[in-house]
Amino acid sequence: MNLMQDLPQGNIVAPDKDWWRGAVIYQIYPRSFQDSNGDGIGDLAGIIHRLDHIAELGVDAIWISPFFRSPMLDFGYDVSDYRDVDPMFGSLGDFDALINRAHELGLKVLIDLVLSHTSNQHPWFQESASNRDNPKSDWFVWADAKPDGSPPNNWLSIFGGSAWEWSGDRMQYYLHNFLKEQPDLNLHNPDVQDELLSVVRFWLDRGVDGFRLDTINFYFHDPELRDNPALDPAERNATIAPEVNPYNWQNHLYDKNHPANLDFLRRFRALLDEYPAATAVGEVGDAQRGMEIQAEYTSGNDKVHMCYSFEFLSAQPPTAERFVSVLTKYEENIGDGWACWAFSNHDVVRHASRWNLGEEARRLYAALLLSLRGSVCLYQGEELGLTEAYVSFEDLQDPYGIRFWPKFKGRDGCRTPMPWISDNQNGGFSDTKPWLPVAVEHLTRAVGKQIQDEGSLLHFYRRMIGFRQGYPALTKGALEDLAHSDGVLTFVRRHEGQRVFCAFNTTGSAQPITVPEGDWTRDRYAPFEPIETDKGITLPPFQAYFAVEAAADD
């Protein structure tokens, strides 16, 4: 049932179905946002308590990482019940209250759906694994062993080792692209698709405004189970643990990116289109073809609205040349599709540390992110300039890090609790020992401390988000005249009659810039201080320049 169909329509203003295009989305990792009940773990009530902070940033929406029932071996990305909240985070009533409060504050709510796999504790898998002759026997990816008892093929798990796990009950292997406790669903089965879409409808009817889709390109596998070929070592450019994980040695032609996914995404989009303004952003996990898949999955206005890949989540230095290379390829591929850009999230080293950014550089790259063509995801704490936290092996929680320690320390360093105040060892996150320690160096960047300082990075983010939203060209416009010179990145954003010129000095030395021909006026509300003289314009280190065509006021 679509609840919106039962509402009186007479005086309702039609929602903006295009709200997501150019939106700024704030990612919440609920375990680490705010603990409300003293167990050291963040929860939904804690999110409600801190929603004002997010609304005051000026963002359009929040994305909440998984809060469904789960054994928490992968911290909610191993779902055991898609239609309920894990008691660790609260209840469905708490979620309803969160939706209501977010909407009161003008915030859309996206939730993180994990449709490629479940927990092995999910009743679907328990039934499927019990024998080969049950109603759900084909709901997961099962295969016979080779004659020598070895796995069906050479596919590898992202978390290490074979992607196949033996089941003594069925005397078969099952596929798991992640932990062995995260069996992959068989979306080639129409019944599985139907059930997953009913989960989507359940949350839409509950009031969510859309979804972040985890590992969107992992939904389908090659039914012939062909071996993946080796990947040329020169092409091993994975974002996460590239130096220790042999998963990055394969060209993943057959265990993901299957063309059957397109028809399922069309079914998914058709369901979303039944609702007034629902949207979805997909995570494309592919180091080689990410941008092509991003374009493919968002094209034609009949699949997902936007996708993000990992180009700017990597450790590659964020030079002007690098941005031109990525954005040029993006423009060549994207067509009528749409990107969602991010520099940090819950899976990668925070970009302040990954790119070794000083304070001024953090401001510059925030402005750059908020000027790109596409939508934007900000990860909690990014607005505070948080660095990657060191987490000792004794405190480590992430199974990925535990597996590959010490060369790869896992993802806990970007998941430590938000610091709300500076005069408490837990940063105001919890009254008891948190599930991960609060980094001491984060306390000096606490929300309460930065609110009191008009020159803080937090206030910079507020001003820059407001600046972006003041120009349709920056939120929805085309990208033109992309170029770089001596470490300065320049481009023009254009929408209808409006053009905005953007320049970013990514170097540690002053650089001159040249504004394109036309009647341009520097926007003095932009939070930067370029040097303007009769001889021209100079950008100090890590400064930006924004100008608007004077004739483009409409």
State the catalytic residues. Answer: 214, 274
Q: Sort residue 160 into left (φ over 0), alpha (ψ -120 to 50) or beta.
A: left
Measured CA to CA, the distance from residue 489 to residue 160 in angstroms comes to 39
- Relative to beta strand 531-533, strand 81-85 is unpaired
User: Among residues 20, 13, 12, which one has the least CA distance to residue 278?
Assistant: 20
CB 292 within 8 A of CB 333: yes
Cβ burial of 93 (10 Å; 0-12, 13-18, 19+) is exposed
CB 60 within 8 A of CB 22: no
User: Among residues 77, 32, 71, which one has the least CA distance to residue 350?
Assistant: 32
User: Among residues 169, 539, 541, which one has the least CA distance to residue 358?
Assistant: 541
Measured CA to CA, the distance from residue 360 to residue 528 in angstroms comes to 10
Measured CA to CA, the distance from residue 318 to residue 157 in angstroms comes to 29
At 13, which amino acid appears?
V
Cβ burial of 367 (10 Å; 0-12, 13-18, 19+) is buried
Query: Kindly report the CA angle at 237 between 231 and 242, in degrees rounded to 5?
Result: 95
Measured CA to CA, the distance from residue 341 to residue 322 in angstroms comes to 15
At 481, which amino acid appears?
D
Measured CA to CA, the distance from residue 306 to residue 393 in angstroms comes to 37
CB 113 within 8 A of CB 119: no
Helix (H) or strand (E) holding 202: helix 190-205
- Per the structure block, which two tokens stand in for 314? 């990597």
